[in-house]
Amino acid sequence: MPFILPESIRAVQQISFGKAPGFDAIPPEVCKHSSPRLMVEFKTLFQEMWHQGQAPQDFKNETIVHLYKRKENRQLCDNHRGISLLKIAGELFTRILIDRLIGHLEQVLVPESQCGF
């Protein structure tokens, strides 16, 4: 199934802004405010990855950061949480795949009788 430009644009609209960038140091806002040409390049990259059947290793790598929840004792593990930071291109690719999977599951696995709940 070929990647189409609206998928890349929709993926950018769905990612969270104002968040820390991944290890590529590119914040999501760069994609939001970039020219349409960047979305075309992402689409081309994703299409090539799809044809090859694999993603580059650095798309799979993530930086895990531990954040203090601003609760009482900093020494307690329960007062911290971890977040995973992905490269922006990897995050966009993942978002497109998730959207495709959800769309497929909604069409194939959810019977009409379940739509009322």
Q: What is the pLDDT of residues 8-36, one digit of tens each?
A: 888 888 888 887 788 788 888 888 888 88
Per-residue pLDDT at 56: 86
What tokens were used for 82?
A: 């971890």
pTM: 0.72
CB-based contact 38:9 (threshold 8 Å): no
